[in-house]
Amino acid sequence: MRNACESAIGAGRVSGGVHGQRVEQFKASNGRARRLLVWASIAALVLSAGGCGKGAGGGEAGTANSGNSNAAPVVVGAKPKAWTGYLDGKPIEVAKGTLGDEATIERIIEEGTKRNQVMNHLEHLTQNIGSRLTGSKRALKANEWTRDRFAAWGLSNAHLDQWGTVGVAFDRGPSTGDLYVEENVRIRRQVAAEQGKEPTAPPKLRKARGLEFTTLSWTRGTNGPVRGEVIRMPKTVEELEGIKDKLSGAWVLIPAGAPGGMRDIRGRVADQYADRAKAREAAAKGEELKDPTMMQRVAVLPVAGFISSSRDERVWTGGIRGWRELTMETIPPEVHVQVRMSDYDYLNSRITDGERVWAEFDLKHEFAPGPVPVYNTVAEIRGTEKPDEVVFVSGHLDSWDGVGSQGATDNGTGSAVTLETARILMASGAKPKRTIRFILWTGEEQGLLGSASYVERHKKEWDTWSACFVDDGGTDSQGGLGASTDEMARVLVAATAPVNGLFFDSADGKALNVNVRMVRSLRDGVGGSDHASFVRAGIPGFFWDEVGRADYGFGWHTQNDKFTLAIPEYLKQSATCSAITAYRLACAPELLPREPKKAESEGEEDSPRPRRGQEGSGGAAGSGGGAGWAEGGKAAARGGDIQLRAAALEGRDRIAGDLVTLRHALEDLALVIFGEFFGHVAERGRLLIAEIDHRLSGLRDRRCHRDSPVALVFKTISIVNGRLPSQRPSRNPGWELHSLSPQNLLDLGSEAPWRPGNWLGD
């Protein structure tokens, strides 16, 4: 029989202090009753929890939400009998003495608030190890260091979990880039004019400025410093013939092209690598391409390399297509550097003014032959009563490795939080009833590879997994979670309640509380991190809402992602919150309630899973022609396209990648429209994303061939126009959603970097 505590947690759905039948009738007639039902359930938990667990009756020390005026008043000298949880922003009392030992929870709070070491872990990861590209030596070093940390704290079964191999190891060493111009250029011009010819002596150069830049991972660097004049890419065959001699040893400046977001920029570079590869292959066979592009014509010449522009002062790093199948023989031979826009504009304007400019790059790219094994780091605190049932706490250890990046907020912060969660629980002597398993994934940036493999390899254990939590939203605090059922919300509100009122924002003094949000489904806006691998398997997976003052887009995948971006107060809250939540769920009477399975007609049948060796092989994300699904980062694997990505991996039509890329553009556009301009219509904004997901869901059974990408755009706009406000606010009246062309849609869609925790204004 269930004990009194279990009965208290389960009773709310039936009674909850109100007549159950009336509640059900009201729920059927009014959507707001869903939330009322959850509040009533938690009220039942409070009313009936008097004899549950240790410390019932308020005898143990507790923490009230002193930062919220709606919390129950606390008499000086008395100990509060309840914590305060939050459901959709409204406070709800949660009885103590439930979901774990109250004394243990107090020790967790003590350790997390007074002896928190999360910043120490982050400092070591970013300063001593650095960026951690999947398959690199630094990633392996991070795997080994985190395993040893877990073991030193006393966790069980600390080990490296191999999930696959990569074709070659790639490590990026210190790299530099500089621009040079002529000294005394006016004197040289005057002499040339007087003599009627250019001086024969080589010009004397001076350094004009250093460059901020990146290159795609798994691409060639230089063999030492390589200096060459910067020459614009010719526009015509006639122009090419006229400057062909000058191109030898030169850095070729690629036209900037249309503005785009991170995925567009990186995808454009990947497309250019692919174009050049075709030209090289044809030349090697003695063949000529039909209607070669100018890029392909120049690719077979002995140039030093290529220079292209970012869209702003950030440069975004990604990977080359087919990175996982590379061998030492198939690594592309050319060098392609992406510089920030101000550096590009400087170059371009100097050349426009008739000046000569030289670039010098020293790119230390190191390769080692494979196959190279790749790992997740795993450790656990074994459960005392139900050791085969598991609560997961995780983050991804890998990062992109662009020049200057340390992989700090994506996702050194989440890795440090995971480490500190484990340390806090061990230091507090926590004895959870279920096993709490800590996993630091790799391969996340290339398509959730480590987590997808782990979930697939442990399929027989799915029924014993309670939930997976992922911290991967930057350096803000853990501000909330989405729950899709009343039962799920009830447990999550109770599990997170003790953290509320413990931490406060130093900027505005507001409490860093945790709010549980009701969502239609965990699949909605599931996000592009490793929890999606669990959600897809029907296991509750959660991406913590990140709330705070940090600008996630500033560092995301760029040269700015450094340790200095981290905000200690937020990370301390996150580690303490993770420890409390994991411990309380591990002590709950039952596994976390799951979403009901939908019928096959609703699109919930098993979708194809990636075959080994194919995951992420699409390379740089965001590019068209089937590669847009491959990024796997926060902006590329959102919402329902996890199934679409799997379908693309199975080889079902190139249109799969095109449709996913369109979805990304549409989703980003929704962020611009409904997040930046009128965030108060967030719920309506979700309709746009839901409609896109609905229209793309047919891909799995090949129904999508009836809609071309362009038709998809117009059909989606047509559908949502009837549901959503069509005009921008008064600052630009007359701007209408249905006036957008597909190209405008794609251009606008990439203008706003996605920020986890700020989903359409939430």
Tokens standing for 368?
């080692």
Mean pLDDT of 700-722: 42
Size of the chain, expressed as the number of residues it contains: 762
Q: Which of 94-108, 136-150, 527-541 has the highest mean pLDDT?
A: 136-150
Task: Name the residue with tokens 């614009």.
Answer: 232
Mean pLDDT of 373-385: 99
Instruction: Give residue 173's pLDDT band: very low, low, confident or very high (50, 70, 90).
Output: very high
Task: Name the residue with tokens 């007087």.
Answer: 194
Which domains are present in the chain? 4-98 (no CATH), 105-170+370-484+519-596 (3.40.630.10), 175-363 (3.50.30.30), 628-761 (no CATH)
The answer to whether residue 381 scores a pLDDT higher than 90 is: yes
Which is more confidently placed, 177 or 63?
A: 177
Q: What angle do the packed helices 682-696 and 641-649 form, to 10 degrees?
A: 30
- Write the single-letter amino acid at 186: R
Q: What is the pLDDT of residue 626?
A: 28
pLDDT tens across 445-486, in order? Answer: 999 999 999 999 999 999 999 999 999 989 999 999 999 999
- Pairwise CA distance, residues 517 & 539, whole Å: 18
Q: What is the pLDDT of residue 525?
A: 55
Q: What is the pLDDT of residue 203?
A: 82
The answer to whether residue 700 scores a pLDDT higher than 70 is: no
- Pairwise CA distance, residues 324 & 370, whole Å: 10
Q: What is the pLDDT of residue 669?
A: 53
At 717, give phi and psi (nearest 5°).
-60, -40
Which is more confidently placed, 680 or 365?
A: 365
**DSSP secondary structure string for all residues of 148-208:** HHHHHTT-EEEEEEEEEEEEEEEEE---EEEEEEETTHHHHHHHHHHHTS--SSPPPEEEE
- Pairwise CA distance, residues 115 & 307, whole Å: 48
The closest alpha carbon to 423, from 63, 121, 101, 99, belongs to 121
242 in helix, strand or coil?
helix
pLDDT tens across 463-473, in order? Answer: 999 999 999 98
Instruction: Give residue 682's pLDDT band: very low, low, confident or very high (50, 70, 90).
Output: very low
Tokens standing for 341?
């826009």
| Beta-carbon count within 10 A of 742 CB | 16
The answer to whether residue 663 scores a pLDDT higher than 90 is: no
- Pairwise CA distance, residues 261 & 258, whole Å: 10
- Pairwise CA distance, residues 121 & 100, whole Å: 27
The answer to whether residue 611 scores a pLDDT higher than 80 is: no
Lowest mean pLDDT among 189-198, 575-584, 653-662: 653-662
Q: What is the pLDDT of residue 743?
A: 40
Which is more confidently placed, 4 or 448?
A: 448
The answer to whether residue 672 scores a pLDDT higher than 70 is: no
Q: What is the pLDDT of residue 53?
A: 36
At 329, give phi and psi (nearest 5°).
-85, -20
Q: What is the pLDDT of residue 357?
A: 96
pLDDT tens across 383-426, in order? Answer: 999 999 999 999 999 999 999 999 999 999 999 999 999 999 99
Q: What is the pLDDT of residue 593?
A: 96
Lowest mean pLDDT among 99-113, 227-241, 385-399, 635-649: 635-649
Mean pLDDT of 662-685: 46
**H runs (alpha helix) in 458-594:** 486-496, 531-536, 552-555, 568-586
Lowest mean pLDDT among 271-275, 296-300, 366-370, 418-422: 271-275
Q: How far is CA 471 from CA 102, 410, 488, 574, in A?
A: 25, 10, 19, 8
Average predicted confidence (pLDDT) for the chain? 76
The answer to whether residue 243 scores a pLDDT higher than 70 is: yes
The answer to whether residue 25 scores a pLDDT higher than 60 is: no
CB 551 within 8 A of CB 466: no
Instruction: Give residue 576's pLDDT band: very low, low, confident or very high (50, 70, 90).
Output: very high
Which is more confidently placed, 44 or 385?
A: 385
CB 452 within 8 A of CB 532: no
The answer to whether residue 238 scores a pLDDT higher than 60 is: yes
Q: What is the pLDDT of residue 530?
A: 94
CB 653 within 8 A of CB 700: no
C-alpha torsion sign, points 436, 439, 445, 449: negative
| β-strand partners of 307 | 253, 337
Tokens standing for 363?
């790119």
Instruction: Give residue 285's pLDDT band: very low, low, confident or very high (50, 70, 90).
Output: confident
The closest alpha carbon to 475, from 562, 578, 582, belongs to 562
**DSSP secondary structure string for all residues of 294-307:** HHHHHHTS--SEEE
Going by the DSSP 8-state scheme, the letter that residue 674 receives in this structure is I
Q: What is the pLDDT of residue 262?
A: 52
Mean pLDDT of 212-226: 97
The answer to whether residue 219 scores a pLDDT higher than 60 is: yes
Task: Name the residue with tokens 């950030």.
Answer: 314
Q: How far is CA 367 from the centre of its chain?
A: 26
Q: What is the pLDDT of residue 80?
A: 63
Going by the DSSP 8-state scheme, the letter that residue 447 receives in this structure is T
Burial of 404 (0-12, 13-18, 19+ CB in 10 A): middle
pLDDT tens across 722-757, in order? Answer: 433 333 333 332 323 333 333 433 333 333 333 333
Instruction: Give residue 597's pLDDT band: very low, low, confident or very high (50, 70, 90).
Output: confident
Burial of 259 (0-12, 13-18, 19+ CB in 10 A): middle
